[in-house]
Amino acid sequence: MRISRLPVTEQLEALRTALRRNELLMEVLDRAATLALPGWYLTAGCLFQTVWNVVTNRPPSEGIKDYDLFYFDGSDLSWEAENEVIQAGNRVFGDLPAVVEIRNEARVHLWYEDHFGVPCPPYPSTEAAIDSFAATTCCLGVRLDGDDQWRIYAPHGLADVFNLVVRPNPGQAPRDVYETKIRRWREQWPGLTVLPWPENELHLP
């Protein structure tokens, strides 16, 4: 049965079941919870690519470049404060065969334009940062609250993730970011259905 035809509760359980197949992801998730970062989520590629691997009968962690750990702390926007968290993360994750990228989404607007060539308004939350990914398929976040209590943020649902559909998300991210990502993803997962970036792209102020 297609995931989009399941009740929402069963879709969420299908996601948890798929993610649990990736033992490395679950270890990162468990250790991330010990950092107790404000508004944190494990997000993006490590999640939907695990699902793609499970759906296509590949090893669950295959092709996953890194594990993105977002948090939101607006109390100190200095690089020094963020770097303290990154160094703490290095100690927590350092023995794992994974690259865990930790970023404070409260300060993304300070460096985004230099990196991507377009300005970025300050995000009000981690969820808002996840909303801005170049593809709606990427807009997924998971964290553990308490003893195995999953918090799942999926503003565009889960159907595209399970059906291997990549859908553009025009707005903050530039078109070339989307197209660069899909070129790499298609090499690893050739069965993807990739929807084109709209020609009449809307630009947010």
Express each pLDDT in 64-121 by its tens digit.
999 999 999 999 999 999 999 999 999 999 999 999 999 999 999 999 888 888 888 9
> Binning pLDDT at 50, 70 and 90, where does residue 201 land?
low
Distance CA 1, CA 64 (A): 27
Q: What angle (nearest 5°) sits at the alpha carbon of residue 72, between those of residues 177 and 67? A: 50
Q: What are phi and psi of 158, to 5 degrees?
A: -120, -5
Describe the strand order of the beta sheet including 100-104 as a list of residue ranges: 100-104, 67-71, 41-43, 141-144, 150-153
On whether the CB atoms of residues 173 and 203 are closer than 8 A, the answer is no
pLDDT of residue 2: 66
pLDDT of residue 4: 64
pLDDT tens-digit readout, 169-196: 998 788 998 999 999 999 999 999 999 9
Who wins on pLDDT, 60 or 202?
A: 60
Mean pLDDT of the chain: 92
pLDDT tens-digit readout, 144-174: 987 778 999 999 999 999 999 999 999 878 8
Greatest pairwise CA separation for the chain in angstroms: 49
- Cα-Cα-Cα-Cα torsion 29, 35, 41, 45, nearest 10 degrees, comes to -50
On whether the CB atoms of residues 82 and 111 are closer than 8 A, the answer is no
pLDDT of residue 204: 43
Q: Is the model's pLDDT at 203 over the cut of 60?
A: no
pLDDT of residue 62: 95
Which residues neighbour 100 within 8 Å (Cβ) at sequence distance 6 or greater? 28, 32, 66, 67, 69, 89, 93
